[in-house]
Each structure stands twice: as structure tokens, then as C-alpha cells.
Structure 1
Amino acid sequence: MATLALAVTDGMLHFELSLAYEVFGTDPTGVADPWYSVVLCGPRAVRVGRFRLEPDHGLDHLPRAHTVIVPGWADVEVDPPADLVDAVRAAHEAGARVASLCTGVFVLAAAGLLDGKRATTHWVHAEALAARYPRVNVDPDVLYVDNGSVLTSAGKSAAMDLCLHLIRRDHGSSVANAAARRLVVPPHRDGGQAQFVTTPVPAPDNHPLADLFPWVIARLDQPLTVEDLARQARMSSRNLGRHFRSVTGTTPLQWLLTQRIRHAQELLETTDDSVEAIATATGMGTATTLRRHFNRTVGVPPDTYRRTFRSWTGPGADDGADDGGRRTTG
């Protein structure tokens, strides 16, 4: 039986820890052999959120595990405990596969396991990770990254995606899909899929473009240009660009494209409209144009995105067989 160790210490996030324990704690089919023997490894009784946990073993047990999971780390502004970092490094050197969930990546980075490698975390913490560990190639736009023996995920639901990905690697798609059905979650979201973070519309009363944003959102089906936006805002194109950069952190065209993609996501999730119809409704013009921009921005084609969100809702749903054209990581 393969040992899967959850590395715990004070300051871990209880959501990611509980999620991993739930995913790996039970064989959803009753026939996968060997299934995981899940153990908690920590230096002592630890505080995780509002809970007190008694680990099964000390951190020195980590090198005996086949897989080590490092849950989210609460305070990313301080260095993770040296004993945890050393134990995770020792486990990897002993041959263990090591995966982090959300901000657990800071532990892996401190251990040097991500030097020269691509990694991800929750987009909120990506900048801090890149600044503290410049040798890590931080990608804030994906759900998870598989480097073989070292894996990292973004936060919350992306941590679930990575856990199911590990089951798929170890036991195949049918077992991973059974686990997803038991947990009532999508059976597969590719790691290269974006974290679905879209450029928000700022508060309506605290910037010079307050009236422009809702005007644009109501006209996404139209072929708007920078000149159109500048005319509506009653300013020059250059002045518009300066205000956009100040308010949104990006250019008018990039912001407009993000809103079109965001609207396309909503239509794919909530309607049965064809890709051609959605291209028209979002101002993309043609299905080819929509597919190109959608795939580049989100990381998967529109059809794959729709299946991800709409094919898993019941027992008769699609098992999430592999789709052609998906990006892979690692």
C-alpha cells in the first residue's frame, strides 16, 4: 500500500488539509489496489485553523512516504518552519513525490525543489512567491503544474483538481472519475486551464472611467475600438490609455478582450448557444477568432470549457474522457 503523508505544522490552512484527507482517504471504487495509506506527519500536536491535531508520525517519517502533500500555508510573509522545509527536502531526496496545495508552494520553494522549475499558487500570492524565490518560474495563470516528482496547485478548487490528477496518474481515469463523482466535483480540469480570474470592473464611483465601463459591458456584441471608447469617455485616446492603465493595470484593448472572454465563459456555462453564436454575442465576429483568443486566455478551447462546467452534474454525466487539443503541464 502506497503511503501518502500529509505534512502538517502550526499555521496550515485547514481547508486544503481536509480536502486532501477526504480525497485520498477512501477508495471510491473499492477495487483500486493498492490504495493510499494516509498518515499525518508533524513535529507535535499542531494547530490547524481552530483545530488541534495529533499527527500519526513525526516529520522524520516523511522520507518513508511515496507521496508527500504540503497543504496551504497561512502566513506567507514569514518563512516556513525550518524543520518542515528540511523534512520535505529529505523526502524528495529519498524519492518521494511532493505536491503542494495553494500556498504550500512556499515550503517547496524554500526547500529548493522548485529552482529552475515552473510552479503555481493562488494568483493573490504569485507576486510574493516570485519576489522571494526568483529562481522559481511562477505561472499565476494555471490551475496546477506537474513537473513529475514535484507538483504545485493554485488555491481551493484547484487543489482538488491536483489531487484528482494524482489519482488519475496512479490509478487511471475511471478511478479518478469515480472519486470525482463521490465528491460531486468536475472529473477533470486540465492543469493548463486558467484560474478564471478576470479583470474586474472597479467600483462605480471612484475613478474617471466609472461611466464608461457599464457602457462597454452593455455593448460587447459590437466591434468597439479604442477610438469608440475614447469618444464615449470624452477624452483623447492617449488620455484614455493612461486612465485605463491607472485604473485597471492594463490597456483598453486588453481590458475589452478580457470582458469579451468573461462574457463568453458565462454563455458557455449557462446556455446551449453554439460557439458561432457566442462569438457574435461577444463581439469576436467568428468562431475561429473566439477559439483562438479563448484558448490563449483561458488555456482550453471553448468546447472543452463547456464540458468541464456542464457535463459532470449527475450520475449519468460524461466520465470526462480525455479531449483532444488540451494543453498539458510539466
Structure 2
Amino acid sequence: MHRVAVLLLPPVVGFDAAIAPLLFGEAADDDGQPLYDVVVCGLDTDPVATIHGFGMVPAAGPEALATADTVVVPGTKFPSARDDGVLTPAARAAFDSIRPGTRMVSICTGAFVLAAAGLLDGRRATTHWKYAPELRGMFPRVAVDENVLFVDDGDVLTSAGLAAGIDLCLHVIRSDHGAQVANAVARHCVVPPWREGGQAQFIDRHLPVQDDATTASTRAWALANLGEDLTVERLARHAHMSPRTFNRRFREETGQAPGAWIRNRRVDHARELLESGDLTVDEVARLAGLGTGGNLRHQLRRGLGMSPSSYRKVFQGA
């Protein structure tokens, strides 16, 4: 079983620290058997202070890191990493015990710890938008992108602040075991299985709001009707807006143009259909609103680098 170690470094962000144990702990196969063995550890087994006035007691010490397949570092104000950009001797020894090839994940300001360990040098990474300038200034070799919810750079993944850790953990589960497992975890946690857009929509922006109109209900309607012809004009009519106003409002709310958003949601639906059944490629394309099997093949190769049949084999085999 894939082992996930969640490393608490004081003072830890309590919300961040709870994300990985909950989400990975809920992931199960069709028979209800857990897919991950999750352990919460510290530099010792003493209670770890949080930034909000309570403590968390790790179940294990740093020895748990040596047997982990994935290590998650939640957000923290760990002074040596946040203030000086280095690790303490104890933290350095803990990181040195991690096996080569172990997947490393940070949530929020946990990115400072990965950067202090030298794991983000030459890589693209993210953190909470508020602390991105600080991360960029302290670690100039890291390509910081504060406009995304998370960055998947293969064996090192970083997320933006707080709830973006949920997005990243769901992405990891989806990558490991497919959309059905990730969607079941999201449903249990009463959160969306994915969120469109990026951190830019949450950064302080003093934009005038002229009315209470939103595209949310139209997006929900579009998700239920992906197989139909969803032009901007038709979406705008559903939202009772002009196409120009709808386009602007949609971009403000999602960070994407309507056409790109619809295409991505159709590809997501096609992936779920490929994972969960034995429909032909043409039928999957039709139901997902992608038209032809050729278009589905094009979209999957462009986004994932594999054909529909290869994608189906990977996830149905897993």
C-alpha cells in the first residue's frame, strides 16, 4: 500500500495539516479497502504547536519518512525555513532520510520548507499568493507562479494556500487511481472534485461590481448538458446577459474563456467515461460533447500525451 507521511513542523497551519490525512485516508477501492496508509509524523512525537493556539500530536517521529512513498509538508511558520531559508539540523536529518524518488508535496507555505531543502531549485512552484513575493525573493532559483492553485512538476508538487491543498490532494488521488476515486473522496468531503481558475481570482482586486449577476448557475447547467452545442451566445442567453458581458464576467469568475472552460470540462467527462466503462471512443466523444473520436484523441494527446485506449488501460488496469 502506498504510504503517505505528513510532516508537521511547528508552528504548523492546523487546517493544512488535516487535509492530507483526511483526503488520502478516505480514498478506497471498489471493495472499500483503503488505497493509502497515512501517518502523521513530526521531528519527534511531542505535540506540535499550531499557529492558532492548539497542538497536534504526531503518531510517529521522523523515522516514518524513511518508508514513505509520498511526503506532505503542510503550511508552517517554521522559523529556520521562513526567516532564514535553511533547515535546522534535525529537519535536515529528517529530509536526508527520505528515499530518492519519494514524491514530495507541499501545501501553502510548506513550499518554503521544500525550497530550504533544495527541492525546488530550477523548478516551477507555487504557494499562497500573499507569500509568493517572499518565496521568490528568498529563493531566486525557484520559478514561483502565484496565479495557479497547484503545480505538478512530476515528483515534486506544490499548492497554493489553505483550501488549494484540497485541490492538490484530489489531483494526486486522481492521478494515482482515476477520477472515480477522487470524485468519491470529494463527495465525502462535500467539496468540488476540481476548481477552475487560479489564485488570481482570490488576490485582492478592487474591481467595481455593477450588479449581483453571476455565471455560476449557467456553468452548472452547462455541466449537465456537455453534449449539446454550447456556444457563447447560448450560454449568455441562459445567464440573461449579452455575450460581451457574459464573456467578461465568465473570465473574471473562472480565469478562463467560456470555450476553453467548456472544452476542459468535456475532456474531464470523457476521461471519467473512459475510466468507468467500455463505451467505444466515438460514443465517449459524443456523450462528452467532443463530437468525434478523432477530436477526443487529439484532446487527450494534447493534454495527457496518450490515446484514449492507452488512458483506459492505465486506469482500468490500476
Length-normalised TM-score, structure 2: 0.67
Task: Confirm or deny that 1:59 pairs with 2:59.
Answer: no
Counterpart for residue 37 of structure 1 = 37
For residue 195 of structure 1, report the CA deviation from its aligned partner: 4.5
Superposed displacement of residue 15, structure 1: 0.2
Cα gap change, 1:159 to 1:89, in 2 (>3 Å): farther
Give the letter for the 1:275 counterpart: V
SS class of match (1:267): coil
Match of 2:134 among 114, 124, 128: 128
Contact 2:87 2:116 in 1 (8 A): no
**Does 1:48 pair with 2:49?**
yes
Q: Is the 8 A contact 1:3 1:67 kept in 2?
A: yes
User: Is 1:84 paired with 2:31?
Assistant: no
- 1:161 corresponds to: 167
**Secondary structure of the structure 2 residue equivalent to 1:168:** helix
CA contact (8 A) 2:28 2:35 kept: no
Distance in 1, Cα, partners of 2:115 & 2:31: 36
- The number of residue pairs the alignment matches comes to 258
Give yes or no for contact 2:48–2:55 (8 Å, CA) kept in 1. Answer: yes
1:175-203 Cα deviation digits (max 9, x unpaired): 1111111111111236x7445225522xx
| 2:214 partner letter | L
Cα distance, 1:3 vs. partner? Answer: 1.0
Is the 2:201–2:255 contact (alpha carbons within 8 Å) kept by the matching residues of 1? no
Equivalence for 2:282: none
- Return closer, same or farther for 1:286/1:177 CA change in 2, 3 Å cut-off: closer
Deviation at residue 140 of structure 1 after TM alignment: 0.3
What is aligned with 2:74? 71
Residues 163 and 106 (structure 1), Cα distance of their counterparts in 2 relative to 1, 3 Å cut: same
Ranges in structure 1 where 5+ consecutive residues have no aligned partner: 202-212, 221-262, 310-317
Q: Quote how far apart the aligned CAs of 1:35 are.
A: 1.2
Residues 112 and 135 of structure 2 are in contact (CA less than 8 Å); yes or no, is this contact kept in structure 1? yes
Q: Distance in 2 between matches of 1:48 and 1:2?
A: 28
Q: In the TM superposition, what is the alpha-carbon distance from 1:55 to its structure 2 partner? A: 2.4
**Distance change >3 Å, CA 267–CA 101, structure 1 → 2:** same
Cα contact 1:41–1:58 (8 A) shared by 2:
yes
Aligned-partner Cα distance in 2 for 1:184–1:285 = 31
2:186 equivalent to 1:180: yes
C-alpha contact 1:80 1:106 (8 A) present in aligned 2: no
1:148 equivalenced with 2:154 (yes/no): yes
Residue in 2 that maps onto 1:268: 215
User: Whole-Å Cα distance in 2 between the matches of residues 80 and 178 of structure 1?
Assistant: 39
Query: Once the 2 structures are TM-superposed, how far is the Cα of residue 22 of structure 1 from its aligned partner?
Result: 0.9
Q: List per-residue Cα deviations over 1:286-305 (Å, max 9, x = no partner).
A: 96xx69x949x955443675
Alpha carbon RMSD of aligned pairs, Å? 4.0
Distance 1:328-1:62 versus aligned 2 partners, 3 A rule: farther
Deviations 1:135-165 (A, max 9, x none): 0000000000011110000012211000011
Provide the rounded CA distance (Å) in 2 between the counterparts of 1:80 and 1:267: 45
Asked if residue 197 in structure 1 is aligned to residue 202 in structure 2, the reply is yes
Aligned mates of 2:258, 2:214 — CA distance in 1: 10
Matches within 5 A, 1:292-303: 294=251, 300-302=256-258
Question: Cα distance, 1:32 vs. partner?
Answer: 6.4
Q: Which structure has the larger Rg over C-alpha atoms?
A: 1
**Which deviates further from its counterpart, 272-281 or 56-65?**
272-281
Letter of the 2:91 partner, please give it: L
Q: Does residue 12 in structure 1 map to residue 12 in structure 2?
A: yes
Q: Report which of the two has the higher share of helix.
A: 2
Residue 43 and residue 199 in structure 1: after superposition, are their counterparts in 2 closer, same or farther (change >3 A)?
closer
**Does the 8 A contact of 1:41 with 1:56 survive in 2?**
yes
* CA distance in structure 1 between the partners assigned to 2:303 and 2:96 by the alignment: 26
User: Percent of counterpart pairs with the same letter?
Assistant: 38
Q: In structure 1, how many angstroms separate the alpha carbons of the residues matched to 2:160 and 2:194?
A: 15
User: Once structures 1 and 2 are overlaid, which stretch shifts more, 134-143 or 268-277?
Assistant: 268-277
Q: CA 1:138 to 1:280, structure 2 compared with 1: closer, same or farther past 3 Å?
A: farther
Q: Distance in 1 between matches of 2:303 and 2:107?
A: 18
1:255-282 CA deviation, whole Å, 9 max, x = no partner? xxxxxxxx9xx62214569733389957
Q: Which TM-score applies when normalising by structure 1?
A: 0.65
Change (3 A) 1:175 1:285: closer
